Amino acid sequence: MNTGNKIGIVLKGYPRLSETFISQEILALEKLGFNLQIISLRHPTDKAVHPINREISAQVSYLPEYIHNEPLRVFKAWRIARKFDGYSSAWRAFRKDLVRDFTRNRFRRFAQGLVIAAEYSREISCLYAHFLHTPTSATRYAALMAAKPFAISAHAKDIWTSPDWEITEKLDDCQWLATCTAGARDHLQTLSHDPKKVHLVYHGLDLKRFPSPKNQPSNRNGSDENNPLRIITVGRAVAKKGLDNLLNALSNLPASLHWQWTHIGGGPLRDQLKAQADSLGISHKCTFRGALDQRDVITAYNNSDLFVLPCRIDKDGDRDGLPNVIVEAQSQGLAVISSPISGIPELIENEKNGLLVEPDKPDKLAAAIIRLADDTNLRNSMGSAGEAKVRAQFNHHSTIGDLADLLRELVSNSQTKKQVR
């Protein structure tokens, strides 16, 4: 890879504990020789960082999170970008978007697009945005101004909560879009005038960071009060994770089944979930550990018996794709209980490497937990099957090749775009 062909990767926030898959991708691309510049819409809010982030050498720059934070920087960017040949195209796109979405957020994304174009277009050959919503909005405006090709990586909420008109127009302007589940690919292809632009690229898992567990599978079945069944959930405390249903299910488990539940992750509903656990009388069996770095998460997997994440489709349409934490849990030999939505069935085959329970059915969820608590042989065989599938089909070092090919194409196409100074 020519070191002069720098790719600007536009992210909503960097680094973020909940987006290990992005850091994993960036590091892998660096190892393949790509020259990268990370451009973040927001400063980090997590107190800790994953070890992988310390291995990434790409320069990180931060845009004005709000216009009023750095008005002079935005003004200077406008004075530069308005002279670009592509500025009128970006301005027309922005005005068209503004008619349909007259919000402060829309003005903010155009301002961030100005800064990207003015400050980084001389250094980068192309742009690549993670998430189809706000990062791609800023990226699209910048790409139009600076006459740079851009591509998109789409995941979950950004797909299902963005209006169709906006997705279609972003697909029209981008070179290609990669998404991480077959269901999302199929949906996005229906919104594209050129379905061939939409590609399925699984994130996979860097299995060197998730080696096979050294400990033998547990035979804990919850019959011993002093050695309870250990249930783990990793994921942000947001509505689409269905953690309120899980707490209701746990409260319905029989008194003869002794259990301990651990939740790892931050999120806006964390305090609400703690209050729910208290009101259900199970708070003494629930541990909320907050966001942890990857090493601590792996240790927690290895100390657990069962992974449960009862995802749902939220009222606003938000949903998970294929949560990376499910791939992680399976890599550590854990049987998984989840829901048959989005991309989850692409990994979890019901009755083979886990159980799939319809969302918002706490009674059925409780029954699934009881079943895998009682039948340790079934639980452990499901865990083994899951680990085998992850190591065979979800190895990041295999899946990254597809993305690398697409990015090489993007860089190549940048040579045919008019350079704007």
pLDDT at 4: 58
The fold of 229-393 is Rossmann fold (3.40.50)
Q: What is the sign of the dihedral through the CA atoms of 149, 136, 107 and 126?
A: negative
| CA–CA separation, 172 and 390 (whole Å) | 34
Distances (CA, A) of 130 to 21, 105, 249: 11, 17, 35
Q: Kindly report the pTM of this predicted structure.
A: 0.84
Residue 358 region by backbone torsions, left for phi larger than 0, else alpha for psi between -120 and 50, else beta: beta
Sheet-wide strand order for 150-154: 59-62, 36-42, 6-13, 124-130, 150-154, 177-179, 198-200
| CA–CA separation, 212 and 386 (whole Å) | 12
Burial class, 49, CB count within 10 angstroms (exposed 0-12 / middle 13-18 / buried 19+): middle
Among 118, 124, 91, which residue's Cα sits nearest to residue 5? 124
pLDDT at 416: 62
Radius of gyration for the alpha carbons in the chain, expressed in angstroms and rounded: 23
Amino acid letter at 38?
I
Task: With a cut of 60, say whether residue 345 has pLDDT above it.
Answer: yes
| CA–CA separation, 127 and 133 (whole Å) | 15
- Could you tell me which residues are beta bridge partners of residue 38? 9, 60
Supply the angle between the helices 104-120 and 87-100 in degrees, to the nearest 10: 160
pLDDT at 3: 42
| CA–CA separation, 205 and 188 (whole Å) | 24
Average pLDDT over residues 8-17: 93
Task: With a cut of 60, say whether residue 296 has pLDDT above it.
Answer: yes
Of the ranges 206-220, 225-239, 400-414, the best mean pLDDT one: 225-239
State what percent of residues in the chain have pLDDT above 70. 97
Note the CATH architecture for domain 6-204+396-414.
3-Layer(aba) Sandwich (3.40)
pLDDT at 417: 54
Distances (CA, A) of 336 to 95, 232, 391: 47, 10, 16
- Could you tell me which residues are beta bridge partners of residue 260? 230
| CA–CA separation, 118 and 84 (whole Å) | 9
Classified as helix, coil or strand, 126 is strand
Count CB neighbours of 244 within 10 A: 19
pLDDT at 214: 86
Contact 307, 326 (CB under 8 A): yes
SS (H, E, C) 202-258: CCCECCCCCCCCCCCCCCCCCCCCCCCEEEEEECCCCHHHCHHHHHHHHHCCCCCCC
- Residue-wise pLDDT for 96-137, tens only, equals 999 999 999 999 999 999 999 999 999 999 999 999 999 999
In the chain, CATH 3.40.50.2000 sits at 6-204+396-414, 229-393
Distances (CA, A) of 151 to 136, 202, 389: 9, 16, 30
Which single residue is written with the structure tokens 């996005």?
A: 188
Q: How confident is the model at residue 419 (pLDDT cuts 50, 70, 90)?
A: very low
- Residue-wise pLDDT for 359-373, tens only, equals 999 999 999 999 999
- Residue-wise pLDDT for 48-58, tens only, equals 788 889 999 99
- Residue-wise pLDDT for 158-168, tens only, equals 999 999 999 99
Among 96, 116, 118, 117, which residue's Cα sits nearest to residue 106? 96
Among 397, 406, 402, which residue's Cα sits nearest to residue 27? 397
Q: How confident is the model at residue 201 (pLDDT cuts 50, 70, 90)?
A: very high
- Residue-wise pLDDT for 225-276, tens only, equals 999 999 999 999 999 999 999 999 999 999 999 999 999 999 999 999 999 9
Counts of helices then strands in the chain (DSSP H, E): 16, 13
Contact 225, 414 (CB under 8 A): no
Contact 386, 196 (CB under 8 A): no
pLDDT averaged over every residue in the chain: 94
| CA–CA separation, 149 and 174 (whole Å) | 7
Among 61, 63, 3, 62, which residue's Cα sits nearest to residue 30? 3
